[in-house]
Amino acid sequence: MSKPEVPQKSPYVMELEPGTYYWCACGRSEKQPFCDGSHKGTDFRPKKLEVSEKKRFALCGCKHTQKDCLCDGSHKNLD
């Protein structure tokens, strides 16, 4: 599998309203941290995030997380 692009080496910290969101896994989206369809033609697919109540999230910005779309600190190990 290809490596994703790294839009930023820190999480996107934001409060999200209830709803369904699609987190960009390829790093190419112009609407980071969410998918805009830029992954088409790659082996990447966006990750679905279901939010049931208004809550603050730290969404991965480096696209190397092992925790679905949530920041796990992987950005600290990137060159």
Give the 3-state secondary structure of residue 33.
coil
Show the tokens assigned to 58: 């730290």
Tell me the per-residue pLDDT of 31-67, one tens digit each, with 9 for 90 and over.
Answer: 999 999 999 999 999 999 999 999 999 999 999 999 9
What's the gap between Cα 44 and its chain centre? 12
For range 7-27, the mean pLDDT: 98
What is the SS3 string spanning 34-75? ECCCCCCCCCCCCEEEEECCCEEEEECCCCCCCECCECCCHH
Q: Given this model, what pLDDT does residue 19 score?
A: 98
pTM greater than the 0.95 cutoff: no
Can you tell me which residue has the tokens 């600190």?
73
Return d(Cα 73, Cα 54) in angstroms, integer.
23
For range 62-78, the mean pLDDT: 96
